[in-house]
Structures are given as C-alpha cells and as structure tokens.
Chain A
C-alpha cells in the first residue's frame, strides 16, 4: 500500500543537494497508524433525538474507504418523512429545552463536547482518515484539533452574546439546517454546530453522503456529553434529502458549505422565505509570488496551498502567479519539492497526499487535467507509484497556462496547480481578481507596503500573506462574490446564527 520510492530515477535528489545521478540515500519504512482502537459499526441509523433509528422506509447506502474501496459501513438513507421527523424533534428541543437554557449552561455543554473530542482525538483522526482518504497526519494535526478548538471557542460565547453586538439584543433563530461537504467532515461539522448551539439554536446536520462516519461518531460525543435530546440531529442521504431539509417550512436557518452550483440551488429554494442563509462556496484562489519573496518559504506555502488535503479545499491556492523574473528558479524548486511528496496510504504517518474522496471526484479531476492538456498547457507530474486500489491522483502542475484555460477558471478540487506569470503588481491584481470566485488569496513578498497594497486589492475574504491555508476558530472565514456570504469563525461567525433585534 505504501508508496515505495524508486531511488534510481528519483528526481528529487537535487533538492536534497545531491549531484545529478545520485540516489536519495534513504527510503521511508511504512508507518501505519493503528486502527485497532477504533470501532466502526456495520450500520448506522439516523441520529434524531439522541437515538439512532432506521430510516422509514428502511433504506441504507454504503460508505467506503476511498483509499481501499472497501466498505466501511452502511448508513441510513433518510426519507422525506425522516426529514420531517428530524425537524419536529429539533423544533421540540428548541422550544422546550435549549432556548430556555441560560447561555452559561449551554456553554458548559459545549465545553464538554470540546473536551470529549480532545479525549477521543485519535479515534476521530483515524475514522476521518479511513472515511475521507486524507492523510492521518493532517486529520490528527489539523482537522481534529481545530474541531475541538472551535467548540471550545464558541462555548465561551454562549453566555456573552450580549457583549458581541453593540446596541442590539441577540436572539436565537430556531432550527438550523446545516449541510456540509466531504473535504473536512468533522471540522465542517464543528464550524456549523458550535456557533449554532452557542447562539441557542438546535440543529439538523446533513454530512456529505461519502463521509458521514465522524458525524455519527460525534453523535456518540453528544451522548457522552448528555446534551438534551434533539439539540443535535444528524441525518444522511443524497443531495435531494438536503434540499428537502432546506425547503422544510419549519427551518429558520440554512447554512451550507459546498459547491457554488448547489449553493445557488439552495439560494433559490429559500428565496422569499424568512430563512436566514449563509453560504460558503467554491474558490479559485490566486497565490501570488513576487521576486523578492523568500523562495524556500514560498515553495512550502505553494505546496501547502494546493496539495494540502489533496487539493480538496475550497480555499486552495490553485492558481499560482509568479513574477517573471523568478519564474525559472521557482519552478525548478517547485518541481523538485513536488517530487518529494509522498502519495499513498492515508493511514501512513509519512503520507503527504492521500486518496481523492470518491471515484466521481477523481473522474472530475482527471477530466479537468485532460482539458488542460487539450487546451495546450504543459503538464508536469513527478514520478510516482500509486497504490493499485483506491482513488489516487499524482500531484500535478501545469505551466504555460493562460487565463482562459478551464484549469485557470474552474475549481478543480484536486491536487492540480496552474502556474501563470505576471510582471507588475497591477497585472497580478488584475489577473488574480479575474474570476467569479473570491474566497481566498495568498501573497508572498518581503516588502511590507506591497503586502498591504496586495491585501487590500484582493477581492477575497481571506488573504494569507507569507503563509497559506491557516485556520483558527477566532478568525472569520468566508467569501466575496460567488464564493458565498456570511462568515464562519470569530465574532463575525456568531452573527450568522442570531437575529439582532433593535
């Protein structure tokens, strides 16, 4: 399963300072994370009112490990009646218990949840990696700690809402319908559920149908935390079920993270209703490297920006803009660094790039990469042996990309980088903003005044200067333009779950 390097042909030798033709003097032994402490049940029902119950009529679907294509479990496929039942239960919990509970008590429940996630962190990390295909080092070091931190942060807001919005009385909205994607299953759950509960709402969460397992593991955290029944409900099913949930007349708030196409469908579904809507949609971030940037740091930032989580990141730095004067040295370094990425078994602690989440997503990545080739861009892929099974894709970069190429315009959501060039800051700004998206951007330069010029010019909700892909519960995250509206994280993220009465 673990990728073995082929030392004779390893093109990365140069990046370790070795002369041409020299071999990389080591190999990585496999270092698999243990899975024996984790129990995945063969079947999961819907989690409604703190109980797992079968869908009615009883229907299930398979959930697989994208790295092995083995079935991990079967989960319930909710019906329209199940959606209705979940909303009723959430409404009941809202009006009878949760909205009556003082903020200070809600806070303690949320602190409990944060602590339990920390206590069970490795279990969450392993299940997340098994189900999503992301490398264990990432689920262990990024996703799970951030999920716990998110609950810990919003816990403290629950009894301080009166201080958040001057001259306003904050009120909870009621029942929140939350639909999350498959790229950060647990972290997105935390980003949705933590502020919603802190603000006094009850929730129905629909995880992506390929990645429901950490959500159902979270249901066990809800049980351990002894959260009142109905405050957190989790249902699974295809996109249509998500739309049923969004359309349900007794839902007060809809929060969605996912593709811009689906976001627009949801926007139409709630039009004319009283439902408060926040959308966190696609992106096509520009990562801009100036000639005075510290190149080695920038290389790490570029790699992290696009190959983190197999590039399945809405804010991924998928368009690299390099100032012409450093194009060649940067590309050499980038290609060498790309060649050192370890692609393979997500459970291996040395793996940098794991499995693409699903066959469908892999096909989409392949199709867009083919379009890049067909449209005349030049492809570079390091020599890399992929596992025989599972949905893997070699980290890829394209040079000679023009603004009109599909790989420069469309969100690929895979480990594929498009490299473009620029001469002046204004040209970089013009090109970077030339997209309907506006989620994130990156700027690399040692010049302070240029950082601020670029930061101000980017029409994007998050700008990383001399870093990339950093997240924190205190830090508002969300898009401009067609990347959506509303913010998650920080004080600004609270507003998405409150009505502010004058």
Chain B
C-alpha cells in the first residue's frame, strides 16, 4: 500500500473510528495567519433549501494530505426520502418548462460557476490533491459542460424523436420525455467534473434528481448546489445528500418513487447490489464500466454525449388517425 493510499484508507476508516484529529491547517478554507477565518457549514440541498441532516450527525472530510477540511452532513435514509419527495414535487414543473427556458437556466449555471471559478479551483485542489493547473482544467471543463448541455435542451428532441411512416392512415410520432426522478451516484474520485458530467444530462432532459455526493470528496458538490440555488434552477430539480455511501445507496436504489438510477459513479462492487435493489420498481439503471472509473477520462469530450441524455428519457409514441 502506498503512503497516499494508506492515508486515504485511514481517512475512510476514521468515519466510524475514533482517531486523533490533527491540528487543522485551514489554509484552504480561507484562513490566513493573521485572521481567523469564517468557515462554511456544508449542508444538504433539498427542495431548494439547505437543511442539515435530520440525523444531526456529521463526518469529517479531509484533504488529500489528511488535513481536516470540514464536517459534512452524514445524511440518512430519511434525508433521501425528503430529497425524493422534493424531486417528485419539482418534476412536473421542470419537465413542462419549454426547452428554450431549460436551456437558458443551464447556461445560467455556467455563468454563475464562472463567477465562483477560483473557489471551485481551490475546493477541487483540496478535495483531490491535484495541482492548481489540473484543478483549473477540471473546473473549466465542468463549466463548459453545462454550456454544452444547455445547447442540447432544444435540439435533443429533434435528434432522438421521429415521425414514423406506419402502414396505414395514421399520423404517428415518437418524442423523448424525461423518465422522472433520477437517482445519481456521484463518482467518488472526480468531485466536481465527474458529478457535473452525470448530472447535467439528466437535468437537461427534464428529470428531477437526487444526488448522493462523493463520500470522501463531497465539498465541491455542496458548493455546486449553492450555485444551483441561485441559478433559476427550481428548488427540488437537483437535491444533494452527503454521507456514507453504504448507508445512502440502498435507500436511494430501493426507493419506490425513484424511476431511474445512474450508478455509473458507483464502484463495480457497489453497483451489483444497487442494481438488484433497483429492480423492485423496474428502475432504469446505468451501470459503471466493468473495470471501474480509475482510467475514465472526465476531461475528454467522450464524457459528454447526447446518448447520456437518452439514458434518462422515455420514448413516447403517439398515434392519430388521418381523415376528413
């Protein structure tokens, strides 16, 4: 085990075990030597609000070098339930917005992320232990990804819909519609770009979502929800729960009012159990790559595709007779 892997393993273990906390060196969260910084409380995002977890529990989040960054909410099954309820409530409104409107709202997300670019770079650096240059590339790609998907909102239907030349006197067409409430298991490693890459296609398609954030790197995701809250994205369209995946994934996968599950960000070992649970109400499940995400290139253009929108849409076919 490399020293770095060992550190990470310890960080994960520390969630449940007593462990001496190192003196915090809170440079990343805005503290300088001559001023005591004002720290941010990282909360859940449910129905457009920022509640703490109903459990009142939290867990420690460390940077790549093992320094404490913050406490994150240790969400529960009840938080997932609240999030699903909020998503279900938001779904009709979001799915009925015009494509032009959805497009502008997604573009607005990019605009507001751009304004917080430095903050996201700092948080991604802390979370992932990457260089400033690498973090900047990831943040820029995440912003650009919203722009890219914003443009799909009013084009996607024309690419995947069809008019069908049936053998008879009927007008027949097929259109994509959102699946409904989509659970998203955010990738564990790529804290921001990975999340945005999975979230944006589900949202642009008109779905309402419940995201389980990366367990070890949840903070950039929470900051993203602060952007969403001010971007004209209606409350409940994106809901985010942080916490321990082994506690949250079964509730999300088993929830009877979740229509689909993006398990692309799950570890292959997690994914099998999640898929089995998801069968109970015939959820559409996107599986992770068989060899996991270790070599997946989130920066690549291949990580964005209209086919990812298709994963969470249903094709509706309509018939009407043609006559006088």
Bind each other: yes
Cα distance A459–B313 in the bound complex, in angstroms: 12
**Is A279 a contact of B272 with CB atoms below 8 Å?**
no
How far, in angstroms, from A12 to B321 measured CA to CA in the complex? 28
Distance A279 CA – B283 CA, assembled complex (angstroms): 11
The CA-CA distance from A168 to B318 in the complex, in Å, is 27
Partner of B282, one of A455, A458, A481, A491: A481
User: B316 and A462: CB pair below 8 A?
Assistant: yes
Q: Assess whether B319 is in contact with A467, with CB atoms less than 8 Å apart.
A: yes
Which residue of A has the minimal Cβ distance to B96?
Answer: A456
- A500 B307 Cβ-Cβ under 8 A: yes
Chain B residues whose CB sits within 8 angstroms of the CB of A487 once the complex forms: 315
Chain A interface category by residue count: 35 or more
- Nearest-neighbor residue (CB-CB) of A484 within chain B: B282
* Alpha-carbon separation in the docked complex, A473 to B168 (Å): 12
Q: Does A492 contact B (CB under 8 A)?
A: yes
A268 touches B279 (CB 8 A): yes
Q: Which residues from A are CB-within-8-Å of B180?
A: 459, 481
Q: How many Å from the CB of A172 to the closest CB on chain B?
A: 18
Residues of A within 8 A of B179 (CB): 480
- Which A275-309 residues have a C-beta within 8 angstroms of B? 279, 281
* B164 touching A470, Cβ below 8 Å: no
Which of A149, A260, A274, A467 has the largest count of B CB atoms less than 10 A from its CB? Answer: A467
Using Cβ atoms and an 8 Å threshold, which residues of chain A touch B162?
476, 490-492
Q: When the two chains form the complex, which single residue of B279, B281, B307 contacts A436, counting CB atoms closer than 8 Å? A: B281
Q: How far is the CB of A312 from chain B (nearest CB, A)?
A: 21
Tell whether A466 is near chain B: CB-to-CB under 8 Å: yes
**A331 vs B282: C-alpha distance when bound (angstroms):** 36
Assess the A490–B320 pair: CB atoms within 8 A: no
Residues of B near A492 (CB, < 8 A) are 162, 174, 315
B174 pairs with A267, CB closer than 8 A: no
Chain B 243-292 residues near chain A, CB threshold 8 A: 259, 271-272, 275-276, 279-282, 284, 290
Does B305 make an interface contact (CB < 8 A)?
Answer: yes
- Could you tell me the distance between the alpha carbons of A465 and B321 in the complex, rounded to whole angstroms? 8
* Pairwise interchain contact B166-A474, C-beta atoms closer than 8 A: yes
For chain B, residues 145 to 179, give those with C-beta under 8 angstroms from any C-beta of chain A. 159, 162, 164-168, 170, 172, 174, 177, 179
Residues A482 and B281 in contact in the complex (CB < 8 Å), given A274-B290, A476-B315? yes
* Contact in complex: A455, B164 (CB < 8 Å): no
Interface string of A99-140 (1 = CB under 8 A from B): 000000000000000000000000000000000000000000
Q: Contact between B282 and A470 (Cβ–Cβ < 8 Å)?
A: no
Instruction: Please indicate which of the listed interface residues B162, B168, B279 has the most CB atoms of chain A within 10 Å of its own CB.
Output: B279
Chain A residue numbers with a CB within 8 Å of B314 are 461, 480, 485
Known: A456-B177, A477-B317, A492-B162. 20 other contacts (CB 8 A): A165-B307, A263-B282, A272-B272, A272-B276, A461-B314, A462-B318, A465-B319, A472-B164, A473-B167, A474-B164, A475-B172, A475-B174, A475-B317, A476-B317, A478-B315, A480-B179, A485-B284, A491-B162, A500-B307, A502-B302
8 cross-chain CB contacts under 8 A: A271-B276, A272-B272, A274-B290, A281-B282, A460-B316, A462-B316, A475-B164, A475-B172
* Chain A residues engaging chain B, CB cutoff 8 angstroms: 149, 165-166, 168, 260, 263-264, 267-268, 271-272, 274, 279, 281, 436, 451, 455-456, 458-467, 470, 472-478, 480-485, 487, 490-492, 500, 502
